[in-house]
Every structure is written in structure tokens, then in C-alpha cells.
Structure 1
Amino acid sequence: MAAPGTRHAFARRSLLRGVVGGGVAAALGACAGPQDAVRLVTDDRWRQFAGTTLNLISENTAPTAAIAANLRPFTELTGINVNIITLELSAMVQKVALDLAGGESQYHVIYADPYQVLAPYSKGLVDLRALAGESSLPPLEGGFADFIPTQLDAAGRFGDRDQVFALPYDCPTMIWQYRADLFEKHGPRMAQELGFDPTPGPERTWDEYFRIARWFNDNTDEVAYGAGHQAKQHDSLMCDFSNVLWAYGGDYFDNGKEIGLYGTIDPGPCRLGSDAAIAAAEVYQRLLQVADPSSKTWDWNGLAPALSSGRVAMCVNWHEYAAANEKAMPGRFGYAPLPRGPVRSANHYGGCGIAISGNTLPNQRRAAWLFVNWATSPQTQLANLKSSAGGGTPTRDSVYRLPEVRQAEQRPSPMPNILTAPAVAEAWKPENIGLRPKIPMWNECDTAIYTELSKMLAGDSNPAEAMRAAATRIDRITARGWAS
């Protein structure tokens, strides 16, 4: 008898193969089928699908907020109208899954989270290389090589290293955020009493981070606590812990870096029971012992205001909270790569791409490519960076090299998120980037990890028990195969 869920998994996979392989032909051959976009005869490659309407489905993200607030440039350039549907991520994933499996293309452009969309549904997405090479369409400015390489791999590929299913669209990355004014004020005394330079950066260790946090707890009333964490029983806890796990040489599976960059449907046995993983869990438990006690109730959205309001002196959080920091207390914050463990500094990358549904008809697909091309272009990324509606940080090298962007790295900055650029540039290097496993069953694995970590932080298990229990649960999940 098949393992629970196996029959369903095979059926869903077969259905997706049918959607991609035969859905377009079936739609074209059916009298009452969906109508393709009309292609106009024009020398303007941007306007050949004028009058078309596209639907983009996205998580509520900063880049999507910025684009939604300023769609006019795209409409004026192309004559294409775009409807933007934004949802909480799990709700968005459910709608995408139903649309792809049902052979529909209600959503032409898809926000492709690498773990919840790209990994389980890559067979339902378009390989963008063909569109990028089509001479009748505008070229991809700078080509694929202009995207930050680790981001193109992590957000854009699955399985086959040559195929590109999504273009990097956002790039939230976990870095060390701290009250630079307090470190400057107390730095000499901290250095004398702690025996090391406390200036944040990748040469610091997680043990030193712990000691700095405890020093603030014991020696100053300017903040309530030295550090805060996003240790709620939630995805945020897995994210927070992972930085320490990788720094100590642990990982979720063998070949973790390769799995994080390119993905797999068969990751092999979970390695959370290793000595390195257990050591990392012990360190993480210690960090929480000196952190703000509310850390166990915070995700990233709870932690961010704790720092920007002056409650904690430092934290690890996604770099795009810099804009909120600078708005709350301008000029008082610093940004650095995360501390080292015995193996490296590891900085958790959480970026996503945008993709095109494989169910689109030929001209719909080309029209969707115009939007994907424009939305990730250097000009649009620069506009997003400046947007008062939000906006993320660029995923293209060329944007960071622009003179006005380089100048904005210094205060006062009209683009406060770019103050993190030196830190994230280090974080995105292959030796420093932290990548969770890009596997179709990651959601279930994630739940197992943060559930067992929460038990550990509550005192219901010790680090070794928590890691081994998580590994056992994950092995059961991956042994069932993936249900896409």
C-alpha cells in the first residue's frame, strides 16, 4: 500500500505535466476556450500587445506595493493594463496551486516564493530563457548576468541549473542591526571590560554577540535589553535559528548549499541530529536567555519596532526594515553582516522571484514577459528604491553601481534601505549567504523545526532532544515524497 498522500502526490504531478505539455494546445483547439492576447503589427516591441490585460498575484511585499502605486509608466510604455492581487503568502500559494493544477491562467504573472511556489510547481512555470532570446521582444537589459548570481540561482532555478523560471524580484536578507550611537558611546568601556572590540561585523562571534547583549543588560538603562529575537513559534523562529545553525557548520541536509541554490525533490536524510546542529541549538538557547523575554512572542514584525523604538540595542532582522529604523530615529543605527561561528558568518536570504504561468497562451505569455522584464529592470528597481509607498532593494548589480545609489549609502540618505548595501553585499557572497533547503515539502519541514525549537525554548526539551526530534519528523516528511 502506498504511503499516506502518495497517490494524491502522483496525481497532482501528472496533472501538472499535462497542464504544461498539453494545456496550451487544448485551449487553442477548443472552440469555447480562452482567447489569446491580440498581437498588433507595430515596430515598437513594447507596444505590440497594447490593449491586453494581465493579472499579477503576489504576496504583500514592498516591491509590489511600490509597483502598484506607480503602474502608469508601464501602461504608458506598453498599453497593457495590469491588475495586481496581493494576499498573505499561504493564501496566495493556494490560489496559484489551484490555477496551475486546473489548467487555467487566471494569474499570468506569479510571485514565485522559492519554497512554496518554485520548488513544488516549477513544471507549471515558463522557462524564461526562450522569451529573453526572442528577437521580436525587448531584450532583458543587462541580461541574466546583471542579477546578483546567488539570487538568480536561489530565486530563479529549480533542478536544472540552466533553466530560469523566475527573475529575482526582492531580496530580504538577515543582517545585524544595532544602535550605532550606543555602541559609539559605550564602545571603549565595553572593549575594556569584555576584552574585545565590540564593533558589529562578521569578525565578531556569536559568543561575543551574547556577551555584548548581556553587557547592555547589566550596564545601561538606555535600552531595556541588549538584544531581541524573532523567536515566536512561527517561520520567523526557523529563520532566526538558521543563521546560527549554518555558522556552526550545521545544516538541514547534506549538500545544503547546493540544495539551497538549485533545489531537489530528494534531499536525503536530515542532518539536524549532528553534533554541529546540536551545538548551534545550545548557542541559540543561550542567546534567548539574555534576550528580551518578549522575543518568544515576536516574529519579524514584532521585533522590528522593538529596535526602532529603543527597547533593544541590537537584533538580527531582515535588512529592509532599515527604512523604518531611519524614519523612527534617523542616523542612530548601524548595519553589519552577522557574527561568525566556528565555520563562517551566515546571513539568511529570503528573496523571491516573479514568474509566468505555463498555462498562458503564446501572446499572453509574451505580454507577461514585457511586465516581468519591466518590473525587474534597473529603472524600475531604482524607482522602487525611491518609492514612498515602500519598495524593496535592488536585485541587480548595475543598480548598486549607479552614482546616485552609491551616494545614498551615506547619510542623510533619500533611499534609507540602501544604507544596508555594504552589509548585504557581503551577506550575498557565496561564502556568506544562508539558504534554506529549496524542496517541495519545505513547509512541513519548517513547521517541524520551529515546533521543536519552541519546545526547547519553553524548557520542555534540551537542545539535543529538540534537534533529534526535528530530524526524525523531517525524515518522515521527506520519505513520503512531495505532494505538488
Structure 2
Amino acid sequence: MRKWLLATLSALVITAGAAVGDPTLARAEWALDKAAAPYKGTEINIIFLDRPGYRAIIKLLPEFEKKTGIKVNYEIVPYENSREKQVLNFSSKGDLTMALVDLVWIGEFAENGWIVPIEKFTSDASITDPGLDLKGFFPLLLDAFGSWGGKVYGLPFDNYSGLLFYNKCMLKDAGFDKPPATWQDLYTTYAPKLTNPEKKQYAFALQSLRGETQSADSFMRVLWPFGGSLLDKTFHSNLMSKESQTGLKFRQDLMKYMPPGVVSYDHVEAVNALAQGQVAMITEWSAFYGTLTDPKTSKLGDCLAVAPEPAGPAGRLPALGGFSLAVASQASPQQQKASWLFIQWATSEDIARAYVEAGGVSGRSSVYEQADIKAKYKFVEPMVASWQKGVPEFRPRFPAWAAISEIVAEVGSKMMLGEVSTEDGAKQIGARMEDILKKEGYYDGKKALRQ
């Protein structure tokens, strides 16, 4: 799977990039305000999440609207409802002109024809910035978040790497001068010294709320580092493998060092637990750095530190997550072009620095090469390092993921609550998951070759 993804990446970037035109073309000949002139007064619509990256782009929106005359209407929706809301809108030919595409939705959105390949727009020089430069994105992000079937559909926008955020003051008080390098170190050496239930202080919190948070941020997070995986190469369940079971059992054991009720923690609760000094460490997305450094929401101050996610027996395999912005096929031709102008602007190198400074995480590599950015934002170096060798298949990106995710979330929550063992839970997930994949045609040799 990974080899196919990486093999096609170069080809699709070259194909899409070639359509943009001569990269040496003087940008003075193209300007956003001039390109947007025919679309002045056009309204475009999108769903945003209540997360730092979206608050950052909202902060910068007046600049785009003033320059282009295009009105960007957005609705802030909880992540757990965002896919369903978009699917209903696209299925009923609603008013969304853009799609916010999680990396695990790209297959579903593309194969249903809800989003448009960017080649439709890059072939039009009047609406495509000659400085678009797809090679300026981290290849991993462009591949995992925006590409499907050899075509680019969306541009990386809200980009995540799993990182270890920790309270270095709490660690120092417990006798540690550096964070745990491995999950086993965290469990065996660090966690016992950092947990004091009487003071309501705990070593670690793993966001595990039922839904995509449980399936992606909790369940899947303990598979890869331990050498396990959801599926094997034949698209059958791999959850009963020794490696997968080791990871899932490790999660159960680690719970004794987590706050009571952690199974109901979403990202907000996990981040807040660290921010308020209730836990010493969390593994969270890079996008929450802004929340943890904001004195209005965090007590950490200089005690905040960031490191790569701990390594497991299979090595350091951090979580990968994020979204792309894509043009919706249901939009009118005028709205599609206006939406494409917005997507280019929101993901451009021109605003990458301002976006990062406002709390976002850009998918552009050049901004993280700036010395002052690396010095100011502690998350940059571990995040960039993880994007050099991350795994796009951390979560399956095929259309069947949405249905499988619900099963993993349901049974994964029961595992953590002790209502089902890791073995019985794995068998339940495997049987139900394979039933879905069989109905979807993954065992007839056709779909498997496409992933």
C-alpha cells in the first residue's frame, strides 16, 4: 500500500504541477485581486472545526475577503458531526462549495464524485497562481490528505503530527530531566512516579471518546508502534496478531496511570488536563500547541515541552492526521472558481507564516526552515521530523473507513471500560469489519489493487 502511494506521488505532483504552467513565470503577471475580479460578490461555503487551525484562518479571512470581494461563509461544527453533515449536504445537493476532507475520507469523497480534481482548475491560468508549487508541500501531506487514485483533489490545510506534550516541571520534580523515549519507559519508569490519585494527578491522558477520537486517536495509536495493524496485506483483520494484541493490552495496563473517566475524554479534555497540571504527559496533535501556550487556556507557561511520540517495539511510528480543502462538485462553475482561489490562498506560502503565527499548522515546508519560527515554536522540529517518515496508512483511507471506524469506536470503548477483553473485542471488530469489506468487494481482487 505505502509503496503504491509513494510511487504515484511523484507522478501526480508532476502532472498537476505541469498544468500550472512555467514556474518561472513572473508572479507580477498574476495577482489574486485581479484573478478574483470576475467573482466579486460570490459567496462560498465551508465547514470548519473548533480547533486552532480554523480559528487561525478565520482571523486572516478579512484579508482575503477585502482583496477578492469573495464572501467566505463558514459553519463551525464538532469534528464528530463534520463528516455526516458534509455527506448529507453533498448527497442532497446542498450549499457547500468546498469540502473539508479528513485523510480517511478522501477515498469516500473522491469515489462518490463529491470533490473535483484540481487539474480542472490548474489548467486555467486565469485562476491559478503560477507560484502554487505543489512541491512546496510536504510530500507525505499532499499524498495522504489530498490525493486519490493518482489525482490531487485537495491541498493540505489543517495538518497534524502526533507529538508528546509534557510538563517538564512535573517531570523534573519526579526526578526526570528528559521525556520518555519509549512507551515502555513511560509505563515502567515514569508513570508510577508521576501518578498520585490522592492529589488527582496522573502521568498520562489518552483522548478516547467514542467516535473517531476513540478509533483513530486511541485505538490505532497503540497498534503501529507495537508492530500491529488493523488490516493485513490481504485486507483481513490483523487484530489477533501478537503485535496488535500487545499494543491493545498495553493501553489497558496504562489506564491505571490515567485519570478516571479518560474514556470520555475528547481532545479538549486531554489538552486541558495537561494545561491545568492534572496530567504530566499527553500524545496529541501538533495543532494544539497554540492552546497549550495560550495563558488564557493554560497554566503551563515555561513548563511546556514537546518531543516526538515515544517509540514502541516496532520503532517510532507517530500518528498522522490532517485535512485538505477541496472544491465541491455540486458548486456552480463560478463558485468552484471562487472556492479554488480561496483554497490556494489558505494553503499558500504567502500566508504560511501568518497562519502559523495565528495558531495554524501549515503544510508548506519552507515556513519551518525559518530560524525564528523553529526557535519560537517548540513543536516544529519534532513535527517536521515525523513528516519525513510517517505512514500514510496509519488509518486506512479507503471509503469503507467510516463504517469500520464506528465499529472500532464502539468495541474499542468497551475494551477500555473492561466490558470485553482485548481478544474478544478484536474478534468482534475483525468479523464485522471483514463483513463490510466483503460486501464492498475488497476480497475479489479489484478494490485491493486500488488502495
What range is the shorter-chain TM-score in?
A: 0.7 to 0.9
Give the unaligned 5+ runs of structure 1: 1-41, 191-197, 256-266, 409-417
Could you say which residue in structure 2 is the equivalent of 1:269? Answer: 236
2:261 aligned counterpart, secondary structure = helix
* 2:195–2:201 contact (8 Å) kept in structure 1: no
Q: Tell me if the contact between 2:33 and 2:68 (Cα under 8 Å) persists in the aligned partners.
A: no
- Corresponding residue SS for 1:175: strand
1:284-295 pair list within 5 angstroms: 284-295=251-262
The equivalences for 1:3-402 within 5 A come to: 44-89=34-79, 91-102=81-92, 104=93, 106-116=95-105, 118-122=106-110, 123-139=113-129, 141-158=131-148, 160-161=149-150, 163-187=151-175, 199-200=178-179, 204-217=181-194, 224-238=201-215, 239-255=217-233, 268-326=235-293, 327=295, 328=298, 329-387=300-358, 391-402=359-370
- TM-score scaled by structure 1? 0.76
Distance 2:33 2:101 in 1: 32
Inter-partner Cα distance in structure 2 for 1:379 and 1:425 = 20
1:448 equivalent to 2:407? Answer yes
Distance 1:89 1:298 in 2: 14
Residues 154/284 of structure 1: CA separation in 2 closer, same or farther (3 Å cut)? same
1:434 deviates by: 6.6
Looking at CA atoms only, which structure, 1 or 2, has the larger radius of gyration? 1
**What amino acid maps onto 1:224 in structure 2?**
Q
- 1:478 aligns to what? 437
Contact 2:132 2:344 in 1 (8 A): no
Structure 1: which amino acid aligns with 2:254? L
Residues of 2 paired with 1:106 and 1:167: CA distance?
21
Secondary structure of the 1:84 match is strand
1:69 to partner: Cα distance: 3.3
- Look up the match of 1:421: 380
Indicate how the Cα distance of structure 1 residues 432 and 175 shifts in structure 2: closer, same or farther if over 3 A, else same. Answer: farther
Residue type matched to 2:192 in 1?
W
**Is 1:405 aligned to residue 382 of structure 2?**
no
Distance 1:121 1:353, change over 3 A: same
Distance 2:342 2:401 in 1: 29
Query: SS at the partner of 1:347?
Result: coil
Q: Percent identity?
A: 23
Q: 3-state SS of the aligned residue for 2:209?
A: coil
Moved more, 59-68 or 278-287: 59-68
Question: What is the rounded CA distance, in whole Å, between the counterparts of 1:283 and 1:90 in structure 2?
Answer: 26
Which one is further off, 356-365 or 305-314? 356-365
SS in 1 for 2:107: helix
Quote the Cα distance in structure 1 between the aligned partners of 2:415 and 2:352. Answer: 41
Relative to 1, partners in 2 of residues 1:423 and 1:137: Cα closer, same or farther, differing over 3 Å? Answer: same
CA contact (8 A) 2:140 2:390 kept: no
- Give CA deviations for 1:414-442 in whole Å, capped at 9, x if unaligned: xxxx3211121122222467721112122
Question: Match of 1:72, as an amino acid?
Answer: P
Q: C-alpha distance in 1, partners of 2:242/2:218?
A: 19
Aligned residue in 2 for 1:9 = none
Q: 1:207 to 1:403 in 2, by over 3 A?
A: closer
2: CA distance, partners of 1:166 / 1:133: 15
What's the secondary structure of 1:111's corresponding residue?
strand
Could you tell me how far apart the structure 1 residues matched to 2:229 and 2:373 are?
Answer: 35
Q: Take 1:218 and 1:92, find their aligned partners in 2: how far apart are those partners?
A: 36
8 Å Cα contact 1:346-1:433 kept in structure 2? no
Q: Distance in 2 between matches of 1:220 and 1:452?
A: 28
Q: Distance in 2 between matches of 1:444 and 1:311?
A: 35
- When normalised by structure 2's length, the TM-score is 0.82
- 1:68 to partner: Cα distance: 2.6
Decide whether the 8 Å contact of 2:225 with 2:311 is kept in 1.
Answer: yes
Query: Structure 1 residues 240 and 251 mapped into 2: Cα distance closer, same or farther (>3 Å)?
Result: same
Match of 2:5 in 1: none
- Mapped to 1, the partners of 2:306 and 2:349 lie a distance apart of 24
Give the C-alpha shift of residue 271 in structure 1.
1.5
**Once the 2 structures are TM-superposed, how far is the Cα of residue 148 of structure 1 from its aligned partner?**
1.2
Per-residue CA deviations over 1:242-291 (Å, capped at 9, x if unaligned) read: 22210111111235xxxxxxxxxxx7212212221111111111111232
- CA deviation after TM superposition for structure 1 residue 403, in Å: 4.2
Kindly provide the CA deviation profile for residues 21-57 of structure 1, in whole angstroms up to 9, marking residues without a partner as x. xxxxxxxxxxxxxxxxxxxxx9933433223222223
RMSD value over aligned CA atoms?
2.6
**Structure 2 SS opposite 1:199:** coil
* SS of residue matched to 1:70: helix
> Equivalent residue of 2:420, what SS?
coil
CA distance in 1, matches of 2:85, 2:204: 38
The total of aligned residue pairs comes to 403
Q: Distance in 2 between matches of 1:63 and 1:218?
A: 32
- Partner AA of 1:127 in structure 2: P
- The 3 A distance-change label for structure 1 pair 89 and 180 is closer
Match of 1:28 in 2: none
More divergent stretch after superposition (350-359 vs 125-134): 125-134
CA distance in 1, matches of 2:253, 2:33: 64
Deviations 1:59-81 (A, max 9, x none): 33433333333322112322222
Which residue identity does 2:385 align to in structure 1?
A: E
- Cα offset for 1:481? 2.0
Report what 1:261 is aligned to: none
CA change 1:212–1:57 in 2 (3 A) is same
